[in-house]
Amino acid sequence: MTEPTTLRRGRPGYDQRGILEVAVAAFNEYGYDATSMGVLADRLGLSKSAIYHHFASKEELLDRALDEALSGLEGVLRESDASPERPAADRLEAVLRGAVRVLVDELPYVTLLLRVRGNTEVERRALTRRRAFDRAVTSLVVEAQAEGSVRADIDAAVVARLLFGMINSIVEWYRPGGREGASRLADDVVAVALDGLRVAPPSEPDAP
């Protein structure tokens, strides 16, 4: 049985996935623009032609890496949309938890996504998808405000930016294997982010 295309092997030890992981690490370390195919070949111990056997260009490597991060985040939204009967605040919490999980599981890829500036067509496409994600989160905040479950005195777009500003900052300090895994980290994010936004239910009247 032949291996899937995504697992084609070149020299021993490097398939497409392995090359992509090394490329993402190099992009994060040196910056995408400063990382040439020659740099990647040196890090991999491969010839450029061996890399081109798997990827047509440096742009394709970047495209695949950014798609991995974005597909994870978009999947979180799809999971939330699959349960429209749930309160919007609960779905917002699920999106936050899911985003933290994606960030932890795909840390190098999300780090790369957060550093793109739109200098290439690949980056611009990624930024378009990221903005669509941001708009979807803002719409969820609006829905939660309309149902009265989160504060409505703060602009929804500002809420979304603040929430994901906190989540995105995790890439700057989180280290895999530390004291907190994705689940505990998500608990902390939700506690800090949402406790100040939730509208407390009305208190029960005192008994006569």
Considering the entire predicted model, what is its pTM? 0.85
Does the pLDDT at position 103 exceed 50? yes
Q: What is the pLDDT of residue 203?
A: 53
pLDDT in tens, 139-165: 999 999 999 999 999 999 999 999 999
Average pLDDT over residues 179-191: 85
128/104 Cα distance (integer angstroms): 23
Q: What is the pLDDT of residue 11?
A: 47
- Count: domains in the chain: 2
Both 69 and 107 in a single domain? yes
79/77 Cα distance (integer angstroms): 5
Q: What is the pLDDT of residue 131?
A: 97
Both 174 and 113 in a single domain? yes
Residue 140 lies in a domain: yes
Residue 185 lies in a domain: yes
Which domain covers residue 25, as residue numbers?
9-52
Tokens of 204: 């029960």
Distances (CA, A) of 21 to 25, 39, 49, 53, 188: 6, 14, 18, 16, 29
148/88 Cα distance (integer angstroms): 10
8/3 Cα distance (integer angstroms): 6
Higher local confidence (pLDDT), 26 or 82 = 26
Both 172 and 80 in a single domain? yes
Both 101 and 154 in a single domain? yes
Residue 99: burial class (beta carbons within 10 Å; 0-12, 13-18, 19+): buried
% of residues, the chain, pLDDT over 70: 88
- 3-class DSSP assignment, residue 205: coil
Both 142 and 82 in a single domain? yes
Residue 204 lies in a domain: no
Both 24 and 68 in a single domain? no
Both 46 and 71 in a single domain? no
Quick check: 150 and 141 in contact, CB under 8 A? yes
Written as one letter, the residue type at 177 is: G
